[in-house]
Amino acid sequence: MGSVGAKDVPVLMTEDGRRIDGRRADELRPLRIQAGALRQADGSAFVEWGANKVMAAVYGPREVHPRHLQENNKAIVQCKYNMAAFSVDERKRPGLDRRSQEISKVIAEAFESVIFVEEYPRTSIDIYIEVLQANAGTRCAGVVAASVALADAGIPMVDLLPAVAVGKVAGHVVLDLKKEEDNFGEADLPMALVPQSGRLVLLQMEGHMTRTELSKALDLGVGGCRKIYEEMKRALRERYAPTGTASAMEVAA
């Protein structure tokens, strides 16, 4: 958390329970999802979530590169989460840093938990996430975008994967942190839910939380994920409803 050397801490929670942008503790930022936003990719999606702008593309199942990663009994899931140099206030040095590599790893593992990988042996399903504009919660926005992109690509999955970060600001457990809340808050807990099973396939946490707060945060996050899930399905229906024949619809249903 950004507490060391932090200055000018803004008022993160007013007395009547309003957050820095006027939201209640359990409110999401405005979320807009567009399925099929790119031409070349097998599947794609664009997510605008608060001040985040995130694009995801899916290629595959296709040949594995590098070849030695190939598995004979299943597809491998590879993910590259990347932040554009201009996506944050101070220019970010381009390329893969350790943070991006860790996020890519946990996202790939989350999706491998829901994709029917055994259907496509000796192939790779490649997920690319580009963060164009960042305002906290980019890995969750990336998971939401990638999940819709996978459905758009017609990859069979157990379910879509809604994701959201819960956190603690000024002693309150709140849903969907924005940048100031992430920077000056006391905890951040991103998660991704499989709605059908009620289980989490992505879960990270940093900060300070009592067991009671953590338990509340998990419940708040699950509730948030279920709302995001509806928006994800709506985006897919919007793309495929006119003809209603696309295979992705079955996945989204």
Residues at the contact surface with other proteins, assessed by CB under 8 A: 1, 4-5, 68-71, 76, 98-99, 101-102, 104-106, 109, 112-113, 189, 194, 197-211, 214-215, 218-219, 222
**Least distance to other proteins from the beta carbon of 30, Å?**
26
- Whole-number minimum distance, CB 122 to other proteins, in Å? 11
- Residue with Cβ nearer other proteins (206 or 250): 206
Closest listed residue to residue 27, CA positions, set 138, 161, 181: 181
For residue 120, the 8-state DSSP code is S
Does the CA dihedral 231-233-237-239 come out positive or negative? positive
- The least CB distance from residue 139 to other proteins, in Å, is 13
Other C-beta atoms within 10 Å of 63: how many?
Answer: 10
Comparing CB distances to other proteins, the nearer of 39 and 211 is 211
* Smallest distance from other proteins to CB 218, Å: 4
> H or E element: which one contains 99?
helix 98-112
Among the listed residues 227, 65, 69, 228, the one whose alpha carbon sits nearest the alpha carbon of residue 147: 228
Nearer to other proteins, 107 or 141 (CB): 107
Structure tokens at 72: 């004979």
CB neighbourhood size of 179 (10 A): 17
Three-class secondary structure of residue 117 per DSSP: helix
Cα angle: 86, vertex 58, 157; to 5 degrees = 130
* C-beta of 10 vs 198, nearer to other proteins: 198
Q: What is the DSSP string of 151-166?
A: HHTT--BSS---EEEE
- How many C-beta neighbours within 10 Å does residue 145 have? 35
Task: Please report the DSSP string for 33-79 in residue order.
Answer: EEES--SSSSEEEEEEETTEEEEEEEEEEE--SSGGG--SSS-EEEE
104 or 123: CB nearest other proteins: 104
CB of 41 to other proteins, least distance (A): 23
> Minimum distance from CB of 200 to other proteins (Å)?
5
Using the minimum distance from each CB to other proteins, give the nearer residue, 38 or 158: 158
Compare residues 71 and 231 and give the one whose CB is closer to other proteins: 71
Beta carbon of residue 184, minimum distance to other proteins (angstroms, whole number): 13
